[in-house]
């Protein structure tokens, strides 16, 4: 038995019993918890352990007041993970813990990297089994507590790099399919219809969205590392097998379905893992990670356009597949999660269904789901129809259209990082709402009246790229803020499945509107001649989708005009 002397202003211990540690609750830092002779938890003897525990904050019951907390002692059970994590938490002010307890709230744990390193060092050097067991319990508490703040460190930033690589490798190729389609139409499959070849590029994201529900649940039960590994193999194999295609339907199965399934398997764990390691800087971390898709689009499109005339589609597909496979395998090796995989069993012992509809009972989820259904109908239209608008309406060269898409992709990278930084200051939901609204406004205010003005089109590309990038970057952080990180993969899978309708039907609807407004005499002086209805459709659907976020922010969460949310 080892007993630390209480501070002179504290009352002596009143109770001794099993499975308890005694903590001093005065305003000064406690020296050491008291261990009793029959306590099943560790008895701290080493000087290193004493230094570690001497930095633990004071702990008291929810019924105590700050005044009593300063003059009494309490036996705190350390057999539960919650109290283990609290006993290891660090704070510069015990008054904050007292105030939280007075309000009936649990104290918030904040981890200190130096103390954590000391715990690990002691684990390596201690020979005392009881000491080692207790230190190991503290380390497990750090790993298991989803509310513990990390916000930095080598491992945390490695997860951001791994997620960036996943977005770069997977979505960069997806955004560059237009180069493949043009080559297929001209060289490999000249007799195939454009619509049949465009279906190859559509099947990839469609497969990803539709399999998101199952993959999201899988990522909660299987380690992220293994899910990303499986996705890497599917994606790489799909691209390599596509190089042997002799008919268009071969591309449907390989560059379409296999590639899309691989994207799904790598995306949902990849976008979720940074949220486990960041709290205060979560939006910035995720923004940097998802900027990889914009960077990948810029790099892969130029690489593919350069390779196709030189080595043909077969070797271009093999090279892109092998490079993507290598990047994704490296990302898989770097991934490390803080939360253990779910056992897939509810507290009552039953297993939840594959399609978890319990989210629909939450009033916070319904507005998000509504936005996920509506926004994609308009979001992708500039990517599909701006190039033809530039040639047909603005009477500019195709190279100018390519430059506009480059500007959009480049500004998307900037926007994803910048809005992530803004969201950490102003709040995820506030910034998400602002991004969606300004994305729609940029369509209505700059593209609609642009006509043949190059300057107006460039302004539109800058504004749309920046704010659309922010909208994409904040999806995961908003969901994590509202529902936590433990169920984030399945939640994102459900939300992305909701986007499938807009992603698949939005472009055909816009095309039908353009065709319906087409002038038979071939005169295209202003957008009103043919593209106006499609542009209005794009902006209006995004504005309608933003109503869901508006209801969430001011109707469900808080009606205050300005509050960080």
Categorize the per-residue pLDDT at 125 as very low, low, confident or very high, splitting at 50, 70 and 90.
low
Cα end-to-end span (Å), the chain: 49
Question: Taking 60 as the threshold, does the pLDDT of residue 146 lie above it?
Answer: no
Mean pLDDT, range 320-341, rounded to an integer: 91
Joined tokens for residue 555: 């109707």
Q: Do 373 and 463 fall within a single domain?
A: yes
- Whether residue 106 has pLDDT greater than 90: no
pLDDT at 222 over 60: yes
177 shares its domain with 289: yes
50 domain-assigned: yes
* Measured distance CA(62)–CA(103) in Å, rounded: 7
pLDDT value of residue 117: 54
Phi, psi of 15 (to 5 degrees): -135, 140
Angle of CA points 463, 465, 467, to nearest 5°: 65
The two structure tokens encoding residue 81: 């993970």
pLDDT score of 555 more than 90 = no
pLDDT of residue 346: 54
- Does the global pTM surpass 0.85? no
The whole-angstrom distance between residue 37's C-alpha and the CA centroid of its chain comes to 48
* 161-211: pLDDT as tens digits: 999 999 999 888 887 887 888 888 888 888 888 778 878 888 888 888 888
Mean pLDDT of 354-359: 73
564 versus 352: which is more confidently predicted?
564
Question: Which tokens belong to 215?
Answer: 């993959």
pLDDT value at 139 more than 90: no
Q: Would the pLDDT of 456 be above 80?
A: yes
pLDDT band for 511, please (50, 70, 90 cuts): confident
**pLDDT reported for residue 265:** 94
Q: Which of these, 271, 332, 263, 171, lies nearest to 479 by C-alpha position?
A: 271
Does residue 40 have a pLDDT over 70? no
pLDDT given for residue 349 in this prediction: 58
Helix 475-483 and helix 488-498: axis angle, to 10°?
Answer: 130
Mean pLDDT across the chain:
74
pLDDT score of 20 more than 70 = no
- What does the pLDDT read at residue 518? 61
The last residue of one of the domains, among 343, 372, 387, is 343
Q: Where are the alpha helices (DSSP H) in 443-559?
A: 454-473, 475-483, 488-498, 500-516, 532-550
pLDDT in tens, 388-423: 788 888 888 878 888 888 898 899 899 999 998 998
Q: What does the pLDDT read at residue 398?
A: 76
Give residue 56's pLDDT band: very low, low, confident or very high (50, 70, 90): very low
Taking Cα atoms as reference points, which of 166, 469, 468, 157 lies closest to residue 296?
166
Structural domain boundaries enclosing 26 = 20-135
Note whether 120 and 177 are same-domain residues.
no
**Are 182 and 315 in the same domain?**
yes
How high is the pLDDT of residue 204?
A: 86
Helix ranges, 89-176 (H): 94-102, 113-125, 129-144, 154-174
Q: Do residues 241 and 335 both lie within one domain?
A: yes
**Residue 276 shares a structural domain with residue 414:** no
User: Residue 29 pLDDT > 90, yes or no?
Assistant: no
Q: Is residue 192 part of a domain?
A: yes
374 and 328 both lie in a single domain: no
pLDDT at 46: 38
Tokens for 225?
């590392």
pLDDT of 353 higher than 50: yes
Q: Are 54 and 17 in contact (CB under 8 A)?
A: no
Greater confidence, 266 or 124? 266
3-state helix, strand, coil in the chain (%, to 5): 70, 5, 30
Facing residues of 24 across strands?
73
Give the domain-ending residue among 105, 135, 165: 135
Q: Do 313 and 371 belong to one domain?
A: no
Residue 350 lies in a domain: no
User: Which residues pair with residue 110 across a beta bridge?
Assistant: 149
Q: Last residue of some domain: 343, 367, 397?
A: 343
Q: What percent of the chain has pLDDT over 70?
A: 68
- pLDDT of res. 17: 38
Tell which wins on pLDDT, 275 or 240.
240
- Tell me what pLDDT residue 497 has: 87
- Please tell me whether residues 164 and 247 are part of one structural domain: yes
Does 12 reside within a domain? no
* Res. 118 pLDDT band, cuts 50 70 90: low
Q: How confident is the model at residue 225 (pLDDT cuts 50, 70, 90)?
A: very high
Check whether residue 392 and residue 418 sit in a common domain. Answer: yes
Mean per-residue pLDDT, 349-367: 77
**Residues 435, 299 within the same domain:** no
Sign of the CA dihedral running 49, 50, 51, 54: positive
Domain count, the chain: 3
Q: What is the CATH number of the domain that holds 182?
A: 1.20.1250.20
Whether residues 464 and 532 share a domain: the answer is yes
> In this model, does residue 446 exceed pLDDT 70?
yes
C-alpha span between 452 and 320 (Å, rounded)? 37
Model confidence at 31, in pLDDT bands (50, 70, 90)?
A: very low
Model confidence at 472: pLDDT above 70: yes
Residues 260-305 have pLDDT tens digits of 999 999 999 998 899 888 888 888 899 999 999 889 888 888 888 8
Quick one: pLDDT at residue 66?
Answer: 37
Segment 533-538 mean pLDDT: 91
Measured distance CA(237)–CA(541) in Å, rounded: 37
């Amino acid at each position: 038995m080892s007993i630390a002397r209480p501070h002179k202003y504290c009352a002596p211990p009143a109770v001794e019993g099993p499975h308890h540690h005694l903590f001093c609750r005065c305003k000064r830092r406690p020296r050491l918890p008291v261990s009793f002779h029959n306590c099943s938890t560790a008895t701290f003897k080493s000087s290193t352990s004493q230094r570690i525990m001497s930095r633990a904050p004071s702990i008291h019951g929810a019924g105590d007041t700050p005044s009593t907390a300063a003059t009494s002692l309490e036996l705190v059970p350390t057999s539960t993970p919650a109290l283990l994590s609290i006993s290891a938490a660090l704070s510069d002010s015990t008054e904050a813990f007292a105030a939280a307890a007075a309000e009936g709230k649990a104290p918030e744990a904040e981890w200190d990297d130096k103390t954590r390193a000391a715990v690990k060092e002691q684990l390596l050097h201690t020979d005392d089994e009881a000491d080692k067991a207790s230190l190991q319990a503290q380390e497990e508490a750090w790993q298991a507590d989803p509310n513990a703040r990390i916000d930095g460190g080598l491992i945390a930033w490695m997860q951001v790099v791994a997620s960036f690589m996943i977005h770069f490798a997977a979505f960069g190729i997806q955004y560059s399919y237009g180069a493949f389609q043009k080559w297929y139409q001209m060289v490999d499959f000249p007799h195939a219809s454009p619509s049949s070849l465009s279906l190859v590029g559509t099947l990839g994201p469609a497969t990803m969205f539709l399999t998101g529900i199952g993959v999201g649940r899988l990522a909660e039960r299987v380690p992220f590392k293994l899910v990303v590994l499986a996705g890497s193999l599917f994606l790489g194999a799909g691209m390599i097998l596509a190089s042997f295609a002799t008919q268009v339907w071969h591309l449907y199965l390989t560059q379409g379905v296999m590639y899309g399934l691989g994207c799904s398997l790598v995306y949902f764990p990849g976008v979720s893992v940074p949220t486990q390691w960041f709290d205060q800087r979560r939006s910035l971390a995720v923004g940097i990670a998802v900027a990889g898709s914009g960077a990948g689009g810029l790099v892969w499109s130029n690489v593919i356009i350069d390779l196709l005339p030189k080595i043909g589609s077969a070797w271009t597909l093999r090279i892109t597949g092998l490079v993507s496979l290598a990047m994704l395998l490296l990302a898989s090796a770097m991934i490390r999660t803080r939360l253990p995989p779910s056992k897939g069993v509810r507290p009552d012992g039953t297993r939840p269904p594959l399609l978890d509809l319990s989210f629909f009972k939450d009033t916070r989820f319904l507005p998000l789901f509504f936005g996920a259904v509506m926004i994609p109908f308009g979001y992708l239209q500039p990517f599909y129809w701006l190039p033809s608008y530039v040639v047909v309406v603005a009477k500019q060269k195709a190279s100018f259209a390519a430059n506009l898409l480059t500007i959009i992709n480049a500004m998307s990278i900037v926007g994803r990082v910048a809005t992530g930084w803004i969201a950490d200051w102003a709040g995820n939901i506030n910034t998400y709402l602002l991004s969606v609204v300004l994305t729609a406004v940029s369509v209505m205010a700059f593209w609609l009246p642009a006509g043949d003005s190059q300057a107006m089109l460039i302004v539109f590309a800058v504004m749309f790229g920046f704010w659309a990038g922010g909208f994409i970057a904040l999806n995961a952080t908003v969901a994590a803020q509202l529902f936590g990180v433990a169920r984030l993969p399945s939640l994102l899978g459900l939300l992305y499945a909701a986007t499938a309708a807009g992603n698949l039907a939005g472009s055909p609807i816009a095309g039908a509107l353009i065709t319906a407004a087409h002038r038979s005499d071939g005169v295209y002086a202003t957008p009103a001649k043919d593209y106006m209805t499609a542009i209005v459709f794009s902006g209006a659907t995004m504005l309608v989708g933003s109503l869901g976020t508006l209801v969430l922010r001011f109707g469900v969460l808080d009606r205050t005009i300005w509050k960080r949310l």
